[in-house]
A and B are shown apart, each in its own frame.
Chain A
């Protein structure tokens, strides 16, 4: 097996790219995608450690993380659609007041 360090290093790289995406992009959809990328990087590290220590719990946890990600995307995209309806723009710079 490829050393687990390599998998964790890849996971760290992907997580950093995701964090960078959240910080520099202006489109909330791409910010969402970056969050998905970060969740995915964490999942990759978890599955790699599951393989090393041969315990199934890591994979179960990854399953739950996927469920939470799906729920989060459903609600988040609904929020973006609603914001677009009231403001006619999804530029994140314009989302600076709570009252539409």
Chain B
């Protein structure tokens, strides 16, 4: 067992434990904080996988912006703890059954294929660096990049329109 595999196993255990913590916490704030931990471990995976730019984007966009927005809304609404629902009591066993089926299917698909094992060639030093990603974004992927900015503008306008209060109401 080499050091990389041990690192992978420890990080994977943290990621799965954080995801399960997110799922089973009663309080929504604890769920959000567990999800931040999960995003942090995934960012470390990105660094191991030679994707430093994506790792930084993960930390700043997901763990930073998105989760702050979540925490803000949780605290704004003040509906941290919901009473346990009594409607549809058969839903939880059915959901667990369906999740088991989903996991069995995906792992079956995973293990019937021969994986690319062992010696993966080492990429060049600048692979995945902000410079390389920026070069690709502003040359080959310029049009999708511009469409992305329009998408963000639409999301911003949509959020404002949805939450604005009309006068006199």
Contact = CB atoms under 8 A, between A and B. Distances in A.
Contacts of B151: 67-68, 71
Interface string A43-62: 11001101110101101101
Contacts of A37: 19, 22, 35, 38
Secondary structure call for the B interface: helix
A66 B23 contact: no
Interface string B91-103: 1101110110011
B133 A71 contact: no
Interface size band for A: 35 or more
A75 B73 CA distance: 12
Given A9-B107, A59-B53, A64 B155 contact: no
Given A16-B102, A78-B159, A91 B16 contact: no
Contact of A63 (B5, B35, B133): B133
Interface in A9-68: 9-10, 12-21, 23-27, 29-30, 32-34, 36-37, 40, 43-44, 47-48, 50-52, 54, 56-57, 59-60, 62-64, 66-68
